[in-house]
């Protein structure tokens, strides 16, 4: 689909979910390779733990109530997925606690990363058929902008530069430009450096 055929809410959510799929897959694969760079592996792990927690908390605390206020009852199927959010929280706790040794056995990290990957992919497959129609039908551009700005303002800093590289992998240049246009001015100036850095980190972990 082109940008013109979808509301901004759907485009940004689709790219965010695509990033979660790509990043969890990369971590699960890289964690199983002894040669994967320790610093890059740790940064990707920390990015995922912080980003995934923030994402589903934003849904539970802000997006579902926004949809419910406009169309009562519409958010109930989405709220029913909160049990999956709880399961993801437990898996993220295990991933955060898993050691990332410079050398030696990384099986605990690989197992924890695989569990998170599987939960995220399954959860998104359940959520998107419900969420995308709700975004199209019940979330105005103004309401989405207010929600997105709050998400940006409260996004954890851990590994934040990685987001640009993953966006580039899952969206068209026009879609990526659209989603990054919401960043504040100082961050706009940093986008080229963020892109170069994140592309290098992702490529390093893939080569490993």
Is it the case that residue 1 has pLDDT exceeding 60? no
pLDDT digit string (tens) for 143-157? 999 999 999 999 998
**Is 157 within 8 Å of 194 (Cβ atoms)?**
no
DSSP string, 69-136: HHSTTTTHHHHTTHHHHHHHHHHHHHHHHS---SSS--HHHHHHHHHHHHHHHHHHHHHHHHHHHHHH
pLDDT digit string (tens) for 184-204? 888 889 999 999 999 999 999
Q: Which residues contact 2 (CB under 8 A, 6 or more apart)?
A: 172, 174
Q: Right CATH number for 3-207 from 1.20.58, 3.30.300, 1.20.120, 3.30.310? A: 1.20.120
Distance, CA of 139 to CA of 141 (rounded, Å): 7
pLDDT digit string (tens) for 66-119? 999 999 988 888 888 878 888 999 999 999 999 998 888 899 999 999 999 999
Residue 208 confidence (pLDDT): 63
Token readout for 203 is: 């490529």
Token readout for 107 is: 């099986």
Global confidence as pTM:
0.93
Annotated domain spans of the chain: 3-207
| Host H or E run for residue 142 | helix 141-154
At which residue do the structure tokens 């580039």 appear? 168
Tell me the C-alpha to C-alpha distance, in Å, between residue 47 and each of 62, 95, 96, 103.
22, 11, 10, 21
Flag the least confident range among 4-8, 109-113, 130-134.
4-8
Residue 2 confidence (pLDDT): 40
Flag the least confident range among 30-34, 94-98, 204-208.
204-208
Residue 81 confidence (pLDDT): 83
Residue 174 confidence (pLDDT): 96
Residue 3 confidence (pLDDT): 46
**Is 67 within 8 Å of 75 (Cβ atoms)?**
yes
Flag the least confident range among 34-43, 82-91, 142-151, 161-170.
82-91
pLDDT digit string (tens) for 19-28? 999 999 999 9
């Amino acid at each position: 689909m082109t940008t013109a055929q979808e509301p901004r809410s759907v485009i940004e959510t689709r790219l965010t979910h695509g990033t979660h799929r790509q990043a969890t897959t990369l971590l699960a694969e890289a964690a199983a390779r002894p040669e994967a760079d320790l610093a890059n592996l740790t940064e990707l792990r920390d990015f995922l733990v912080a980003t995934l927690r923030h994402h589903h908390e934003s849904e539970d605390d802000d997006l579902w109530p926004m949809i419910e206020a406009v169309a009562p009852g519409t958010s109930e199927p989405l709220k029913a997925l909160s049990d999956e959010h709880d399961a993801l929280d437990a898996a993220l706790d295990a991933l955060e606690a898993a050691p990332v040794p410079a050398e030696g056995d990384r099986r605990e990290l690989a197992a924890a990363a695989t569990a998170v990957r599987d939960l995220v992919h399954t959860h998104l497959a359940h959520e998107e058929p419900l969420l995308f129609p709700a975004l199209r039908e019940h979330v105005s551009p103004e309401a989405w902008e207010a929600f997105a700005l709050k998400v940006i303002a409260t996004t954890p800093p851990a590994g934040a530069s990685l987001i640009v590289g993953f966006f580039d992998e899952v969206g068209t240049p026009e879609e990526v430009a659209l989603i990054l246009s919401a960043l504040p001015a100082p961050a706009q100036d940093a986008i080229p450096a963020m892109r170069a850095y994140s592309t290098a980190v992702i490529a390093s972990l893939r080569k490993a």
